[in-house]
Amino acid sequence: MADRRHRDDPGSTGEHDRGGVFRRAGDPGKPDEFERLYRSRESEQRVVGETRRLPPADRVPPHRPPRRRTHAEGREYDGRGIKRRAREQRKRRFRTTAIILLVVLLVAPTSFYLWANSRLERVDALQDYDGRPDRARGTTYMIVGSDSRDGLDDDQIRELSTGRAEGRRTDTIMVLYMPRDGDPTIVSVPRDSYVPMPIPGYADNKINTAFADSVCGTDEEGEEICGGPAPLVEAFERASGVRIDHYVEIGMGGFVDLVDAVGGVEMCPEEPMEDPKAGLDIEAGCQEMDGGTALGYVRTRATPRADLDRIQRQREFFSALIQKASAPSTMFNPFRAVPLVTAGTDTFMVDEGDKLRHLASMLMAMRGGTQTTAVPVGETPTLDGVGSVVLWDQARSEMMFDAMREGEPIPEEAMQD
């Protein structure tokens, strides 16, 4: 509709009356605010007349279609499945190798344990009898070193100066006592301890006699009973009132092999020692003893206190041997650990109820720290028909044995040097 208000205005062209025409006020030669907002930037304006040149054909890179990828980053498909099959084969090989390794790690130790356990020689040492002491609260091992020459050839007998002797007797009797709390204690039992004999026809005698297989008697039923591990254990149990839970025995040849298997044991005698009967000739001071030297060191009686000095040396050497055998340098060295297990299981004799794990428990229990002592000695008289014997100190030995029966640490006043 025309604007009648300006119809007669001479300056009007009448164009404002046409529909769709928009007029802006201001200077027509300058951009107004509307143009400043909506005019394109110079950088966005195309230059008219500029020609785009294509590169030569020999410089154009070959066209490669985009690679297909799955949701898994880095996984590629070549259309034929070669890489996929290669990955699957690698995974199968890895799984197979892992399974085989796991089986070896699980089966090999078990097989080795069963093999080593089967090598132990067993004897019925812990027998029940009327009046046997009740099981104590602690744990006890009887450790016997016999003078058996079994396994030694003629050259070794000459080299070790063991001589020839039929049968077997004890060179060492020790009881490893493990209380409920506290460190274990090695208690030496003098071989000449005067105790009641469990062998028929024999009265009180040296405890060593109960082990000698040449000592025999006949019981009321006419059965012959000879000395050995079972009578030895019974003789100690009756005299002390302490029940033995485990039995371990080793002969001369096994002792030598055991020491050599750990690479020798260092001992520090205060004085030089020489004993042709034991094949021993050493200087004073610290030195590494091999199996042959160590055997002479623990057997000799060529010292002022004879058997009592020998008992002390045996305790000291046994503790040092255990420390060396349980050291990480031995346990984690297959060149020493395997010979040690082989030598030990080939020469140890244990009770029928004992297993290799009991020996391992004994070894580890003594690893942390072990006290050494002996059954307190009262007198050492000489008796007709028996010879020189050792009588236990009744008060102090009963104090020791009472603590062992109750599973308590042995009191200091009951300790014997």
Residue-level pLDDT at 163: 47
Query: Tokens representing 321?
Result: 């041997």
Over 60: is that where the pLDDT of 228 sits?
Answer: yes
Radius of gyration of the chain, Cα coordinates, nearest whole angstrom = 47
Over 70: is that where the pLDDT of 20 sits?
Answer: no
pLDDT digits (tens, 9 = 90+) for 319-334: 888 788 877 777 777 7
Please list, residue by residue across 183-197, b when 16 or more beta carbons sit within 10 angstroms of its beta carbon and e when fewer do. Answer: ebbbbbbbbbbbbeb
Alpha-carbon dihedral angle through residues 282, 417, 170, 221, given to the nearest 10 degrees: 180
Collapse the DSSP code of 23 into the 3-class scheme (helix H, G, I; strand E, B; otherwise coil) and give the result. coil
Estimate the crossing angle of helix 252-261 against helix 291-299, to 10 degrees. Answer: 130
Contact 371, 185 (CB under 8 A): yes
What are the φ and ψ backbone dihedral angles of 281, each rounded to 5 degrees?
Answer: -155, 95
pLDDT digits (tens, 9 = 90+) for 30-45: 555 555 555 555 545 5
Burial class of 132 by CB neighbour count within 10 A (0 to 12, 13 to 18, 19+): middle
- Predicted TM-score of the model (pTM): 0.67
Q: Which band of pLDDT confidence, cut at 50, 70 and 90, is reported for residue 48?
A: low
Distance CA 296, CA 275 (A): 8
Collapse the DSSP code of 276 into the 3-class scheme (helix H, G, I; strand E, B; otherwise coil) and give the result. helix
CB count within 10 Å of CB 397 equals 21
Mean pLDDT of 178-202: 90
Collapse the DSSP code of 68 into the 3-class scheme (helix H, G, I; strand E, B; otherwise coil) and give the result. coil
Q: Which residues contact 82 (CB under 8 A, 6 or more apart)?
A: none
Alpha-carbon dihedral angle through residues 323, 329, 335, 338, given to the nearest 10 degrees: 40
pLDDT digits (tens, 9 = 90+) for 238-288: 999 999 999 998 877 677 888 888 888 899 988 899 888 888 888 999 999
pLDDT digits (tens, 9 = 90+) for 361-410: 887 777 666 788 999 999 999 998 888 999 999 999 999 999 999 999 99
Which CB contacts under 8 angstroms, 24+ apart, belong to 131-134? 131/238, 132/234, 132/237, 132/243, 133/237, 133/241, 133/242, 133/243, 133/405, 134/243
pLDDT digits (tens, 9 = 90+) for 106-148: 555 677 667 777 778 889 999 999 999 999 888 999 999 876 5
Q: Which band of pLDDT confidence, cut at 50, 70 and 90, is reported for residue 53?
A: low
CA 66 to chain centre: 59
- The string of DSSP codes covering 171-239 is EEEEEEEE-SSS--EEEE--TTBEE---STT--SEEGGGGT-TT-EEE-TTS-EEE-SHHHHHHHHHHH
Contact 406, 136 (CB under 8 A): yes
Contact 388, 394 (CB under 8 A): no
